[in-house]
Chain A
């Protein structure tokens, strides 16, 4: 290797990106050429200084904790799913001994017990929000307005769904899916706001109380909020429906959004 060849490969040499044969040829030349060694030292210093002084831009404070909490929540979902499977398996085994009717009764009892308190209820909402957060297109039906969803719902749920129309233009509805939560039929609407996903759960208002949640005043309807695993749930009753909006705790201005929607 001559000097121009060595100089042209110095950066690859510093990065250890040359084939072993080239590396030894380079080394042989550098051992006897002070001029090329000087260039090598220059490049080495530059690389080492970049490593020493440059850092990735810091992520926003608290992001690491939010991620860790989300993953703990995911783990709980998996664990709870496994537990339920085990429970069902044991119940079915018992059915052979005790009879089908008693097992069904016991199963429905245990299911009712599983989500009886407000904290468990908000956790279920957050779990569902997080579960669909990792899905790119979670909606079964695309829709861009609440009215559109209400029309779709006519053939999907056995009640006449009424939804809030958010006044903020930042709230962009992407679609809806109809599923079950707490053994109730619900509509789950997905919104995007400034690149972040929000979930709105709409269900008939049947017996879920707000005890254990922080009540919100200055609204023409009953409204409460609760933080859970890095997320916030805002729930309110209107027109015989219970609506629950779930979003990242960092979007703390969303309570105002709900408030503005009902400032007639």
Chain B
């Protein structure tokens, strides 16, 4: 019994090791403050530990722990009634935001696409920081963390359509920045129409 409990704790500590950065990143994105993000991250994992017996092993831990983060964040904001004006719930409401037209994927005249991404891939992380934070977060959760659209919608408390739009627009913006960069260094040519 004791060994079993210790084993669960070790398993959970491994999950903490692997997910602290993600939870902290999302918390910082919502609070805009490192100190508050740290505290939210701590509270999230303490709550996750208390509810760990409810976690179903065949489901996505990332999505589960991020939902706990979201609920903890909402609870804290509700408790701080004086900050109600500041807490717009912009990121956490089910309200539909206007879905702007997303440009379709462009065909780029690369000399060699594979080499370009190998050479300039590290620029992607820098350029991604230039797009609005809501879009960064949606792209990060989808492309880096591998969450599905419905899982992201659940975490961000947004309609699936809005999540889809943010991911697509985020990638389109990133692609455009990447192409500008490639053009500036003369790696790709302007495509003739």
- List B contacts of A45 (CB < 8 A): 113-114, 117
A72 interfacial by beta-carbon distance below 8 Å = yes
- List A contacts of B13 (CB < 8 A): 68, 71
- List A contacts of B164 (CB < 8 A): 12, 17
Mark interface residues in B128-140 (1 if CB within 8 Å of A CB, else 0): 1000000000011
Interface set, chain B 107-163, CB cutoff 8 A to A: 107-108, 113-114, 117, 121-122, 124-125, 128, 139-140, 142-145, 148-149
B89 interfacial by beta-carbon distance below 8 Å = no
Total interface residues on B, using CB and 8 Å?
Answer: 61
B22 interfacial by beta-carbon distance below 8 Å = yes
Q: Is the CB of B34 within 8 A of A72?
A: no
Interface contacts (Cβ under 8 Å), in number, total 151
Mark interface residues in A52-82 (1 if CB within 8 Å of B CB, else 0): 1111111110011011101110110000000
- Name the CB-closest residue of B to A35: B107
B33 interfacial by beta-carbon distance below 8 Å = yes
A7 to B105, CA, bound (A): 7
Which segment, of B41-49, B53-61, B91-99, faces chain A?
Answer: B41-49
A32 interfacial by beta-carbon distance below 8 Å = no
Query: Interface on chain B toward A: helix, strand, loop, or mixed SS?
Result: helix
Which interface residue of A15, A51, A74, A137 has the most chain B CB atoms within 10 A? A15
Interface set, chain B 5-41, CB cutoff 8 A to A: 5, 9, 12-13, 16-17, 20-25, 28, 31, 33-36, 38-39, 41
With contact pairs A10-B105, A42-B113, A195-B39 given, residues A74 and B124 touching in the complex (Cβ less than 8 Å): no
Q: How far is the CB of A143 from chain B (nearest CB, A)?
A: 15
With contact pairs A45-B117, A54-B140 given, residues A38 and B107 touching in the complex (Cβ less than 8 Å): yes
Please report B residues at the A interface, Cβ cutoff 8 Å.
Answer: 5, 9, 12-13, 16-17, 20-25, 28, 31, 33-36, 38-39, 41-43, 45-47, 49-50, 75-76, 78-79, 102, 104-108, 113-114, 117, 121-122, 124-125, 128, 139-140, 142-145, 148-149, 164, 167-168, 171, 174-175, 178
